Structure 1
Amino acid sequence: MALINVTNTTRKEKSLLLNTLAGSVKTLENSYTTVDLRNEHCVTGKIVKVDGYMNLEMEDVVFYDMRGAQKCLATFYVCGRNIRQVHIPKRIDPVEMFKNQLTNLTRRKEKTKKVFKTSRAEKKNLQTIREAYK
């Protein structure tokens, strides 16, 4: 499973990734799977990129139409509204996938380095408090 990188997404896309099943499809990036389309066709290949609207970019694709004819393609793009079902590969545990999705998508506060002005102000405040309570 791929780690979820949401640095280049908008707020709305981040919200969609957290609150819809698009986030679970996002965890399938860089893995091979099958996607069933609304028009009875299906596509099997490697998912390269997924956005918050569940639009998929795939590579090394085999496209199957409803009559069973196959066509090999280098790349393939699927609009999210045309997806009926995304198959989760058997080697991936769905419970772990959802846990990883939630832990990787939640916001983490990064530690910021204090600037000199801030540290000097904190020292001055501590000194003032010590003098006041002596």
Structure 2
Amino acid sequence: MQKFSSQEKYLIANTLNCWPVMLQGHSVLMDLRNETSVAGVVDIADGHMTCELSNAVLIDRNGGQHPFDNFMVRNRMIRQIHIPTDIDVAQELRQAMEHGVLRRKRVDGRNTKRTFKQKRAEMRHKETLEMIAQQRSEKEQNQSNIQ
């Protein structure tokens, strides 16, 4: 398991920086700020969203494709990460909330009291999960009304 600094743990728990970490091992497409895109498998991602991709293909502005064995994307260059359709967003966030960096462990392995920041982060994650569930149910209702 990857070791994160306290700042990275905070960013992963409280921002969308958790997505590259959760997408490790998955094939993704990233749109970059210089109007190019890169597709590949996320090997390593840190709490600052710096990602290392393997078997990557860089797609330039003109549509030309350039293959790379390894490709590193700095956090400031990422404009958008396309999450694969086979990943259940709600389930991934729920797992990150339950097993992720929000849980503090003592040296002997037992849980300790959570800090205010951890409680607030967990509350925000729960709100996000509720919003996703609500949007999903509205989408299903709209599809059933159309049929």
TM-score category, normalised to shorter length: 0.7 to 0.9
What is the match of residue 10 of structure 1? Answer: 5
Check if 1:57 corresponds to 2:34.
no
Tell me by how many angstroms 1:28 deviates.
0.4
Aligned-residue offset at 1:109: 3.1
Deviation at 1:111, TM superposition (A): 7.5
Give the whole-Å Cα distance in 1 for the aligned partners of 2:74 and 2:63.
Answer: 22
TM-score norm. by structure 2 comes to: 0.69
How many equivalent pairs are there?
A: 108
Runs of 4+ residues deviating >4 angstroms: none
Alignment of 1:38-57 (within 5 A): 38-57=33-52
1:71 aligned onto 2:55: no
SS in 1 for 2:90: helix
Counterpart amino acid of 1:92? I
Spell out the pairing of 1:78-117 with structure 2 (5 A cutoff): 78-105=73-100, 106-109=102-105, 112=108
Alpha-carbon shift at residue 95 of structure 1 (Å): 0.8
Give the one of 26, 29, 33 matched to 1:31.
Answer: 26
Does the 8 Å contact 1:24/1:97 carry over to 2? Answer: no
Structure 1 residue 110: Cα displacement: 5.1
- TM-score in terms of structure 1 length: 0.75
Could you say if the C-alpha distance between residues 110 and 69 of structure 1 is closer, same or farther in structure 2, counting changes exceeding 3 Å? same
Task: Find the aligned partners of 2:107 and 2:47 in 1 and give their Cα distance.
Answer: 27
User: Displacement of 1:112 after TM fit?
Assistant: 3.0
Q: Which has the higher contact order (CA 8 A, sep 6+)?
A: 1
For residues 49-75 of structure 1, what are the alpha-carbon distances to aligned partners after superposition, in whole Å with 9 as ceiling and x for unaligned?
Answer: 110110000000011001000001000
8 Å contact 1:46–1:60 — kept in the other structure?
A: yes
Q: Distance in 1 between matches of 2:5 and 2:108?
A: 23
> SS of 1:44's equivalent?
strand
Unaligned runs of 5+ in 2: 110-147
